[in-house]
Amino acid sequence: MSTDSRFVHKIWQEDELSKMVPGGVPFPMLSDAGGFIGKVYGIYDEEAGVDIRGRFIIDPDGVIQAMEVLAPPVGRNVEEFIRQVKAFQHVRATGEATPSGWQPGRVTLKPGPELVPNCIS
């Protein structure tokens, strides 16, 4: 999603993204003309009239599980984003926790009472 029009997205998909991802990205790109969604998520730059680059992982219940906002000159790590999506999907499906850098098929953590700190004095 960006403040670009759907027509700009279409050209970007056809001329640029299709070179990086065969067939283009497999999900719809949305236009946030006016920055209404960006304002809700706190990433709309009113002065420039654009959404700042950010990503949000939102679960099926509509809860934000992760977010990252970067300055425009800094690139994003798509592989890390995909890894995090897979980790959140695994956690949701199994109730297990995933350590830093977890990849599918690797060891997970089994949450239990012993992992909860004793807060009673």
User: 4-8, 23-27, 36-40, 72-76: lowest mean pLDDT where?
Assistant: 23-27
In the predicted structure, residue 121 carries a pLDDT above the cut 70? no
In the predicted structure, residue 51 carries a pLDDT above the cut 70? yes
DSSP track, 29-83: --B-TTSHHHHHTT-EETTTTEEPPEEEEE-TTS-EEEEEE--TTSPP-HHHHHH
Q: What mean pLDDT value characterizes the chain?
A: 85
Mean pLDDT of the 25-44 span: 88
Q: What is the pLDDT of residue 8?
A: 87
Domain coordinates in residue numbering, the chain: 1-52, 54-108
* CA 38 – CA 66 distance, rounded (Å): 16
Residue type, 6: R
Other CB atoms within 10 A of residue 83 CB: 16
pLDDT above 70 coverage of the chain, percent: 92
Q: Per the confidence metrics, is the pTM higher than 0.85?
A: no
Which tokens go with 14? Answer: 């056809």
Q: CA torsion sign, 10 to 11 to 17 to 23?
A: positive
